[in-house]
Amino acid sequence: MQEGAVLEMRGIDKRFPGVYALQHVDFTLRAGEIHALMGENGAGKSTLIKVLTGVYQKDASEIFMQGTQKPLVIKSPQDAQKAGISTVYQEITLCPNLTVAENMYIGRTAGALTKWKQMNKDAQTLLTSLGIPAQATQQLASCSIAVQQMVAIARAVDMDCKVLILDEPTSSLDEQEVAKLFKLMLDLKARGVGIIFVTHFLDQVYEVCDRITVLRDGQLVGEYIIEDLPRVKLVSKMMGKELGELSDIEAKGEAVHVDTKSMPVIEVNQLESAAGIKPFDFTIRKGEVNGFTGLLGSGRSECVRAIYGADHVTGGKVKINGKEVKIKSPLDAMKHGISYLAEDRKQDGIVGDLSVRENIILALQVLMGFFKPIPRAKAEAFAKEYIKLLGIRTASADTPIKSLSGGNQQKAILARWLLANPIYLILDEPTRGIDVGTKMEIQKLVLKLASEGKSVTFISSETDKMLRTCSRLVVMRDRRVVGELSGDDLTQDKIMMTIAGGEKK
């Protein structure tokens, strides 16, 4: 064990069928520090935490806790709890209809009888000492989300935890609530608790953390003291691109040139939605391919969802071909010629039990209306055409779409939106979780569509892919548009600098 370490994980391996989720990852947590665990989606953050909390069984590795000589065996969340490792998840896992005190002591009272008075008193003492603004006898559901989260933390603290894992605790909190939570975290830090903080918000990392461990593709990139790792470097480590040494040569040339003086197809002015994005401006012209970029959770999807009417729009204007339009629902957007390929294919894309054919014709069918079903023969012809065009691998057009592989499902959904013949196509992470070949095909297709005069907005975490196809990039951070890059500014370095932002540190 290292000096002062409260938890040490050495050589953690975790294999899922066909993939290494974690490969020889080391992680050390010291007493009284707040340690950020950073990485892009799929980097292995959650897997590491799940190994630590006993949700997954590790394949190989050793975990040591302070004061023990033998490696710790964690086979279930209960084991982890006994060892002093507590987790507070993004979604509250407490019981909203019980009181605060009951939630803090549930499952841990000695014997069958609960000493209610004593319990409430203890709870109140702890709440006060931690400065949590809640009454012990209050129903949990009547507290704000932030307070509920704090109660979960208080429960963990009372269980004498040495390691506290906070998994994305701030994503549903507003700024004031975040400040309160941070105060509590600093307080616990002073008491010697080691805190693992998982978040996507860069600003928050630099506000409270002492150390950062970066993971990428299931491997450890490194552990850094926060002062030694400026934001730009952190972003480059997370993305796996070193500053300066990037080859941007191949990035350009392919992007379609657009007449910048022409009337924008879509013009968005100070649009705002209930999903919590700050008002933003956006334009796209005929035949243009542009993109939204930023880290996960930076509000990229929320922006396009606001344009598409998928989230409740709370303010701002949208003009299509210079005319102001009201888009209140996805159907409105579709009628104006906007198509949106959603980020979450399983939840927002496919209709699993329906056939590939029905999935392909769905958008066109809805546009045609309730009383005009597409004749079977025509639907079959459409399906056949697009299965061939996009090379969708399926036993037949009648196969339920859920039995296709991810990439083929994605192609089928893409076919759906192409069939709707939009003037403006939004592709939200169209290449996630699909193989390289399909990725290339989809990129080519995007450029082809643009050359046919369609406008395309592309969202992806993979900036190199974006550079190859987009002529302009809107950069987002912490739910705010922080920059727009085009022309010579369109380089990996510049994107990373903008994503990281330099205002605060």
Partner 1 sequence: MAATNNLQQKTGAKKFGAMLSALVHRQIFIPIAALLLLLIFNLIADPSFFAITLAQNSAGDPVLSGYLITVLDNASELVILAIGMTLVTAASGGQDISVGATIAIAGSVVLRVLCGTNSRPDTLQAPIIVAFLIGCVVSMLFGAFNGVMVAFFKIQPMVATLILFTAGRSIAAWINNNELPIISDASFGYFGNFIPGIPVPTPIFIAALCMIIIALVLKFTNLGLYTQCVGINAHSSRLNGINPATIKFLTYVILGLCVAVAGFIKVSRFSTINYSVVAKDIEMDAILAVALGGNALSGGKFNMASSILGAYVIQLLTTTLFKFNVVSSALPAYKAVVVIILVVLSAPVVREKMLALWTKIAPKKRVKEAA
Residue among 115 and 328 whose Cβ is closer to partner 1:
328
CB of 225 to partner 1, least distance (A): 43
For residue 131, which phi and psi values (nearest 5 degrees)?
70, 30
Residue among 19 and 331 whose Cβ is closer to partner 1:
331
The contacts found for 488-492 with CB under 8 angstroms, 24 or more apart, are 490/248, 490/251, 490/252, 491/246, 491/248, 491/251, 491/467, 492/241, 492/246, 492/248, 492/251, 492/463, 492/464, 492/467
Tokens of 366: 């809805």
Contact call for residues 330 and 340 (beta carbons, < 8 A): yes
Query: Beta 211-216 vs 219-225: how paired, if at all?
Result: antiparallel
Residue among 168 and 358 whose Cβ is closer to partner 1:
358
Lay out the sheet containing 472-477: strands in order across.
Answer: 338-341, 424-428, 455-459, 289-293, 472-477, 480-486
Residue among 87 and 273 whose Cβ is closer to partner 1:
273
- Can you tell me the distance from the alpha carbon of 150 to that of 196, in angstroms, rounded to the nearest whole number? 15
Residue among 52 and 363 whose Cβ is closer to partner 1:
363
Residue among 167 and 429 whose Cβ is closer to partner 1:
429
CB of 475 to partner 1, least distance (A): 25
* Residue in the block written with tokens 């805190």: 195
User: Which runs of E-coded beta strand occur in 309-354?
Assistant: 313-320, 323-325, 338-341
SS (HEC) of 1-54:
CCCCEEEEEEEEEEEECCEEEEEEEEEEEECCCEEEEECCCCCCHHHHHHHHCC
CB of 219 to partner 1, least distance (A): 34
Query: Beta 455-459 vs 424-428: how paired, if at all?
Result: parallel
CB of 348 to partner 1, least distance (A): 5
Residue among 70 and 372 whose Cβ is closer to partner 1:
372
CB of 227 to partner 1, least distance (A): 44
- Can you tell me the distance from the alpha carbon of 224 to that of 233, in angstroms, rounded to the nearest whole number? 11
Residue among 254 and 348 whose Cβ is closer to partner 1:
348
Which residue stretches of 420-457 are H helix? Answer: 436-451
* Diameter of the chain measured on Cα atoms: 77
Residue among 362 and 442 whose Cβ is closer to partner 1:
362
What is the binding site for partner 1 (CB under 8 A)? Answer: 308, 310, 329-331, 334-335, 340, 342, 347-354, 358, 362-363, 365-367, 369-373, 416
User: What pairs with residue 349 in β-bridges?
Assistant: none
